[in-house]
Amino acid sequence: MKARVHVMLKNGVLDPQGEAVRHALGAMGFEGINGVRQGKVIELDLAEGTTEADVSAMCEKLLANTVIESYSVEIS
């Protein structure tokens, strides 16, 4: 089984990388971009039987820093 974890900076936390991308897109002539947030995706290849709760524990303990980041888990 596979799990995909999306990690994003929480709303309210300045994302300077996202801001830099937003500026670059504006400079390239793309209009109407009100905001850009940049996160990361972590793909896990897991043994059968691993639960979503197990993946959430991995997120809480290592994959995300919940002081500044939120995460979501997709199991497939």
- Interaction of residue 49 with another protein, rule CB under 8 A: no
Q: How many CB atoms lie within 10 A of CB 74?
A: 13
Q: Residue 55: CB partners within 8 Å, gap ≥ 6?
A: 3, 5, 44, 46, 73, 75
- Report the residue number, 32 or 62, with the smaller CB distance to another protein: 62
Q: How many CB atoms lie within 10 A of CB 11?
A: 8
What minimum distance in Å lies between the beta carbon of 12 and another protein? 8
- Interaction of residue 75 with another protein, rule CB under 8 A: no
Stretch 10-29 residues interacting with another protein (CB under 8 A): 13-14, 16-17, 20
Residues within the interface to another protein (CB under 8 A)? 9, 13-14, 16-17, 20, 61-63, 65, 67-68
